[in-house]
């Protein structure tokens, strides 16, 4: 019997729920068709819009935070592999091996600590923050259903209230039929019964309306208080979350900087003890290429800038046509030091040779001043620059417009290109002077 009772209650609930769904569906259809009015609350609708926006933003923040944590994890693994490589190549007899291994261990621990603190202070807080949204979202949806129930009950009660004439007509019609079959004394009782039944339906509709209104208003009042409070809480949550992330990242980089400095000190010590075997890494010209302007370019290996060559001859020069090696008397005005003969290349002004003599030679480009040879590779960074390889010979020519020449730059054409094409327009370009050295 108990099982039957239980089953009966369950079946009753199912039937009641089905009836509610049908009533709500009918009410929504009538509202959409404009045959029934719908209760509106613009303030609450704005709160719901803010709620949905807040949920969307929080979900995106959670997703991006998880992506950030995955990146930290990946960087940890990459750093760990790099340190393992260093430990493998660091030979046992090299100084600082133990220090390097300890630094690698601390590096690994620092990454792990950073990742865990991000999880504890950011991700878990994020999960807690978003954990309150599903329940509120469910209650918003339930409020919507209760509002439909309230509107349906209201419309039902109003229809009964405004249908008195129709009800009287419905009552009168059966009476007229019963008049033929029922005695006169029964007709009054029958009318009273029908009136009482109609009043009962109205009373039941009124009770259902009051109940539906009470349920709706209880839920509505709670949400009207919670939604604005939740919306305002977003500011403090965002501030705390990003402050935590920024603080953790700042501390992490400070500690990592100390480890990197310690590792650098260990490697400097190793370099000092094995300095004679140090591998020199040549700087890439693209990184050291000078910007055309007032800044003078610097050659990759720090060699001095090209200057007029000075040759010093310590052999005393014979006077009066005497043959070298002849012993000559020294006059009082003569220094006891040997005579010095200085040979210089022609001076240049903004890359133009004063008194140059190569302008008229047919095998050289017009305006030819002197030759230079590239001492370093130079990668052109603009269309008006020459691409140079160490050893390339360049024929230097003047700028068509001297005002276009920047300090430290020359105009020229590679000798190989000139010999092949004999066309300045296609071959000439600018290049940094101190990447080259003059040659005879």
CATH number for the domain spanning 134: value is 1.20.1270.60
14 domain residue, yes or no: no
Are 437 and 309 part of one and the same domain? yes
Are 58 and 164 part of one and the same domain? yes
Are 71 and 203 part of one and the same domain? yes
Higher pLDDT among residues 360 and 182, named by residue: 182
Mean of pLDDT over the chain: 77
* pLDDT in the model for residue 305: 47
C-alpha to C-alpha distance for 193 and 348, rounded to whole angstroms? 128
- Count CB-CB contacts under 10 A for residue 392: 20
Are 388 and 264 part of one and the same domain? no
320 domain residue, yes or no: no
- Count CB-CB contacts under 10 A for residue 27: 22
C-alpha to C-alpha distance for 80 and 88, rounded to whole angstroms? 12
Are 265 and 292 part of one and the same domain? no
Are 258 and 296 part of one and the same domain? no
3-state secondary structure of 271: helix
The pair of three-digit structure tokens given for residue 78, joined into one six-digit string: 């990459």
Are 137 and 61 part of one and the same domain? yes
180 domain residue, yes or no: yes
17 domain residue, yes or no: no
Residues 6+ apart with CB under 8 A from 253: none
C-alpha to C-alpha distance for 136 and 228, rounded to whole angstroms? 12
* pLDDT in the model for residue 148: 86
Residue 353: band (very low, low, confident or very high) from pLDDT cuts 50, 70, 90: very low
Q: What average pLDDT does range 237-265 have in this prediction?
A: 95
Question: Quick one: which of 321, 369, 368, 317 has its CA closest to 345?
Answer: 369
Domain boundary among 272, 304, 323: 272
Question: Quick one: which of 400, 389, 403 has its CA closest to 431?
Answer: 389
Are 153 and 220 part of one and the same domain? yes
Are 47 and 146 part of one and the same domain? yes
DSSP assignment string, 58-117: HHHHHHHHHHHHHHHHHHHHHHHHHHHHHHHHS-TTSTTHHHHHHHHHHHHHHHHHHHHH
Question: Quick one: which of 286, 244, 254 has its CA closest to 388?
Answer: 286
Domain boundary among 272, 296, 324: 272
* pLDDT in the model for residue 407: 87
The pair of three-digit structure tokens given for residue 293, joined into one six-digit string: 């302007």
pLDDT, one tens digit per residue, over 198-240 is: 677 777 877 888 888 888 888 888 998 999 999 999 999 999 9
Contact status, residue 157 vs residue 209, Cβ threshold 8 Å? yes
1 domain residue, yes or no: no
pLDDT, one tens digit per residue, over 57-94 is: 999 999 999 999 999 999 999 999 999 999 999 999 99
The pair of three-digit structure tokens given for residue 256, joined into one six-digit string: 């990592």
Strand runs labelled E in 179-224? none
pLDDT of residue 343 exceeding 70: no
376 domain residue, yes or no: yes
Are 75 and 151 part of one and the same domain? yes
C-alpha to C-alpha distance for 157 and 205, rounded to whole angstroms? 5
Contact status, residue 319 vs residue 328, Cβ threshold 8 Å? yes
Q: What average pLDDT does range 30-54 have in this prediction?
A: 83
9 domain residue, yes or no: no
* pLDDT in the model for residue 359: 41
* pLDDT in the model for residue 36: 66
pLDDT of residue 437 exceeding 60: yes
Are 97 and 139 part of one and the same domain? yes
Domain boundary among 218, 244, 272: 272
**Partners of residue 394 on adjacent β-strands:** 372, 414
The domain that contains 427 carries what CATH number? 2.30.30.40
Are 227 and 79 part of one and the same domain? yes
> Cα dihedral sign for 180, 186, 187, 191?
negative
By residue count, the chain amounts to 440
Q: Is 351 left (phi over 0), alpha (psi -120 to 50) or beta?
A: left
Residue 156 belongs to what domain range?
Answer: 29-272
Which residue blocks in 274-354 are alpha helix, DSSP H?
A: 285-288
8 domain residue, yes or no: no
């Amino acid at each position: 019997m108990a099982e039957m009772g239980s089953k009966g209650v369950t079946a009753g609930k199912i039937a009641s729920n089905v009836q509610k769904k049908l009533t709500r569906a009918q009410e929504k259809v009538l509202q959409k068709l404009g045959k029934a009015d719908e209760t509106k609350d613009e303030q609450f609708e704005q709160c719901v819009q803010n709620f949905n926006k807040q949920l969307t933003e929080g979900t995106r923040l959670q997703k991006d935070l998880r992506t950030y944590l995955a990146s930290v994890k990946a960087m940890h693994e990459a750093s760990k592999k790099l340190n393992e490589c260093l430990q493998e190549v660091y030979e046992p007899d090299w100084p600082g091996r133990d220090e390097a291994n300890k630094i690698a261990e601390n590096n690994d621990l620092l990454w792990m600590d950073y990742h865990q603190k991000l999880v504890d202070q950011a991700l878990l807080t994020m999960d807690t923050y978003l954990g309150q949204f599903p329940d509120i979202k469910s209650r918003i949806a339930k409020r919507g259903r209760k509002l439909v129930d309230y509107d349906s009950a209201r419309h039902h009660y109003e229809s009964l209230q405004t249908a008195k004439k129709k009800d009287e007509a419905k009552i009168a019609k059966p009476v007229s039929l019963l008049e033929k079959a029922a005695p006169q004394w029964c007709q009054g009782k029958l009318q009273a019964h029908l009136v009482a039944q109609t009043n009962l339906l109205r009373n039941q509709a009124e009770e259902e309306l009051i109940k539906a209104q009470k349920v709706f208003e209880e839920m509505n009042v709670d949400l009207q208080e919670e939604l604005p409070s939740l919306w305002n809480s977003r500011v403090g949550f965002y501030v705390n979350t990003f402050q935590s992330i920024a603080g953790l990242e700042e501390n992490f980089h400070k500690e990592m900087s100390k480890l990197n400095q310690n590792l650098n000190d260990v490697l400097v010590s190793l370099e000092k003890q094995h300095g004679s075997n140090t591998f020199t890494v040549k700087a890439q010209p693209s990184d050291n290429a000078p910007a055309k302007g007032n800044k003078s370019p610097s050659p990759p290996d720090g060699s001095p800038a090209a200057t007029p060559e000075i040759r010093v001859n310590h052999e005393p020069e014979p006077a009066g046509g005497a043959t070298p090696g002849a012993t000559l008397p020294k006059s009082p005005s003569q220094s006891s030091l040997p005579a010095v003969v200085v040979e210089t290349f022609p001076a240049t002004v903004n890359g133009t040779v004063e008194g140059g003599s190569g302008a008229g030679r047919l095998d050289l480009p017009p305006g030819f001043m002197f030759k230079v040879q590239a001492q370093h590779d130079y990668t052109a960074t603009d269309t008006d620059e020459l691409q140079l390889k160490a050893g390339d010979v360049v024929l230097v020519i003047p700028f068509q417009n001297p005002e276009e020449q920047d300090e430290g730059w020359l105009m020229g054409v590679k000798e190989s290109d000139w010999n092949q094409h004999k066309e300045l327009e296609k071959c000439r370009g600018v290049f940094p002077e101190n990447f080259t050295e003059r040659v005879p």
